[in-house]
Amino acid sequence: MTNRITKESKIIELLKAGGHITTWDAIQKFRYTRLPHLIYKMRKQGYEFCEKSHPMPGGSRYIEWWLKENCQEILVGLTRCMSQGVNTNHTAYK
């Protein structure tokens, strides 16, 4: 039996380590195009998520996900950035 490290397992480890992710992050960092499906599967396995919707020009939006256990820490950091006038799009505050 091999201990193959999959794209999904890398994303799960990122989230467990307190990270956050968007679909674009998953594509760029992991070449993974099915993030919403992975979030769905993880919810079915009992993981709980927080999510934030970010509006974009033209009326579209993107979603950013965190594990619920890390939500408070992430949102405090995001609020701090916003109060300091930092652009908090999905790549600016990593």
Tokens of 36: 């919403």
Torsion of CA 70, 54, 14, 48, to 10 degrees: 50
Counting the structural domains of the chain, the total is: 1
For 3-49, the pLDDT digits (tens) are: 568 999 999 999 999 889 999 999 999 999 999 999 999 999 999 99
CATH number at residue 19: 1.10.10
For 39-73, the pLDDT digits (tens) are: 999 999 999 998 989 899 999 999 999 998 877 66
What domain range is 59 assigned to? Answer: 7-83
Quote the pTM value: 0.68
User: Considering the domain boundaries, does residue 52 fall inside one?
Assistant: yes
Q: List the beta bridge partners of residue 19.
A: none
Among the listed residues 15, 7, 59, the one whose alpha carbon sits nearest the alpha carbon of residue 33: 7
Residue 8 contacts by C-beta under 8 Å, 6 or more apart in sequence? 32, 38
CA–CA dist 17, 61 (Å, integer): 26
CA–CA dist 75, 9 (Å, integer): 24
